[in-house]
């Protein structure tokens, strides 16, 4: 029997390692977070690589691989993988889109509530020994219009939560049919229309040439005065300098951000010092439940691919010829 080698250079849940180890014919190298040098030294012999977002599977790493067949991303975004090089080398890249849907939607919703009610700022003020009930006057979500950009799994899960809070939900997604949104009680509208109608805008798109910096000076100018923006998708969807300027001018009342471009954000990122901005360090998928789900799914995808030649959830199908 062929013995396969699976390299896991990021911290993934133990449940995934147990599944790999009990699958038979698989040797697992998973010492915890590996340094770049350690990963480069170990990749040559690996048949499969399981990563979260920390390991950059760039051309240098992929070119050091001699027999790599599959990269499984325990999560959704594959922006830490050089897809062109992987495809050229016949390495399938797979992801686990279902596992962190609820975690991410809950986090986006939590950011929106924190933004509406100034919860982090009030907490800090109390840590400073103050009892300030004037500064932190909030807004109800009830009755507000939430515009969801990207109506995939996470956008839909967010819509359900917002509707439970009696928000009106509109969405923009060029890749889905009107009736899918209608089934969720959500009006599917153009991006322009969404920008001009929404009190809150929450981003749930991938970064592509079309979506990079979709929130910029020009699009912000078309939004409602006092709009609030939530981003738990990818930092590059927002032109951060333009957003900071719009918050300073009052055009945008506040933002709640889980993602940055780059990550971690540079210490002089203007958004970090603005009082109207709520920050978390890319935590949307960081729940016990989501990390088990994505890790287990990644392990199962790798076992299926290595042992049965059955590649599922492939994001670069051309790699398989
Ligand atoms: C994802 O792409 O799955 C999330 O952003 C979480 C992560 O990067 O691990």
Ligand 1 centroid distance, CA of 137 (Å): 33
Q: Which of 11, 33, 53 to mutate to test the pocket of ligand 1 (most atoms within 8 A of CB)?
A: 53
Atom of ligand 1 nearest to the CA of 234: 5
Three-class secondary structure of residue 50 per DSSP:
strand
Helix axes 14-22, 288-308, angle to 10 degrees: 20
Q: Is the pLDDT of residue 1 over 90?
A: no
Q: Is the pLDDT of residue 48 over 90?
A: yes
Whose CA is closest to atom 6 on ligand 1? Answer: 285
Question: Once rounded to an integer, what is the mean pLDDT over residues 164-188?
Answer: 97
Question: Once rounded to an integer, what is the mean pLDDT over residues 137-159?
Answer: 98
Entry field: residues in the chain: 321
* Predicted pLDDT of residue 2: 83
Question: Tens digit of pLDDT for each residue in 259-308?
Answer: 999 999 999 999 999 999 999 999 999 999 999 999 999 999 999 999 99
Please give the C-alpha separations between residue 31 and each of 8, 12, 14, in angstroms, as whole numbers. Answer: 8, 10, 11
Q: Where in the sequence of the chain do the CATH 3.40.50.720 domains occur?
A: 4-99+288-320, 101-279
Ligand 1 centroid distance, CA of 286 (Å): 9
* Predicted pLDDT of residue 12: 96
* Predicted pLDDT of residue 267: 96
Atom of ligand 1 nearest to the CA of 78: 2
Q: Which of 13, 55, 76 to mutate to test the pocket of ligand 1 (most atoms within 8 A of CB)?
A: 76
Whose CA is closest to atom 8 on ligand 1? Answer: 53
Atom of ligand 1 nearest to the CA of 73: 3
Q: Which CATH superfamily is domain 4-99+288-320 in?
A: NAD(P)-binding Rossmann-like Domain (3.40.50.720)
Distance from C-alpha of 300 to C-alpha of 157, rounded to nearest angstrom: 25
* Predicted pLDDT of residue 159: 98
* Predicted pLDDT of residue 266: 96
* Predicted pLDDT of residue 321: 81
Query: What CATH number has the domain spanning 101-279?
Result: 3.40.50.720
* Predicted pLDDT of residue 243: 98
Ligand 1 centroid distance, CA of 302 (Å): 18
**pTM of the full predicted structure?**
0.94
Across the chain, mean pLDDT equals 97
Residue 8 pLDDT level (bands cut at 50, 70, 90)? very high
Residue by residue, DSSP assigns 102-127 as: HHHHHHHHHHHHHHHHTHHHHHHHHH
């Amino acid at each position: 029997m062929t013995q396969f080698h699976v390299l896991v250079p990021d911290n993934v849940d133990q449940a995934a390692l147990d599944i790999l180890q009990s699958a038979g014919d698989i040797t697992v190298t998973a010492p915890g977070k590996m340094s770049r040098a350690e990963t480069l030294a170990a990749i040559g012999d690996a048949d499969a690589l399981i990563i979260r977002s920390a390991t950059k599977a760039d051309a240098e790493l992929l070119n050091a691989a001699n027999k790599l067949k599959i990269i499984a991303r325990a999560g959704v975004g594959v922006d830490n993988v050089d897809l062109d090089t992987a495809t050229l080398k016949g390495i399938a890249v797979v992801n686990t889109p279902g596992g962190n849907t609820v975690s991410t939607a809950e986090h986006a919703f939590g950011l929106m509530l924190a933004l509406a009610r100034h919860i982090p700022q009030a907490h800090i003020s109390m840590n400073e020994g103050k009892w300030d009930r004037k500064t932190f006057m909030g807004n109800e979500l009830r009755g507000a219009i939430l515009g969801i950009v990207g109506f995939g799994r996470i956008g839909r899960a967010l819509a359900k939560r917002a509707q439970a809070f009696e928000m009106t939900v509109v969405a923009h997604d060029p890749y889905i049919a009107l009736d899918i949104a209608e089934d969720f009680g959500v009006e599917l509208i153009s991006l322009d229309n969404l920008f001009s109608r929404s009190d809150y805008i929450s981003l749930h798109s991938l970064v592509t040439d079309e979506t990079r910096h979709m929130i910029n000076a020009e699009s912000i100018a078309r939004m409602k005065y006092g709009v609030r923006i939530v981003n738990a998708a990818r930092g590059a969807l927002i032109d951060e300098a333009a957003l900071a300027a719009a918050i300073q001018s009052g055009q945008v009342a506040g933002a709640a951000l889980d993602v940055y471009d780059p990550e971690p954000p540079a210490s002089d990122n203007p958004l970090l010092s603005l009082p109207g901005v709520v920050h978390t360090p890319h935590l949307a998928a960081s729940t016990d439940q989501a990390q088990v789900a994505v890790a287990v799914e990644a392990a199962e995808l790798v076992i299926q691919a290595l042992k049965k030649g059955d590649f599922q959830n492939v994001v670069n199908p051309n790699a398989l010829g």
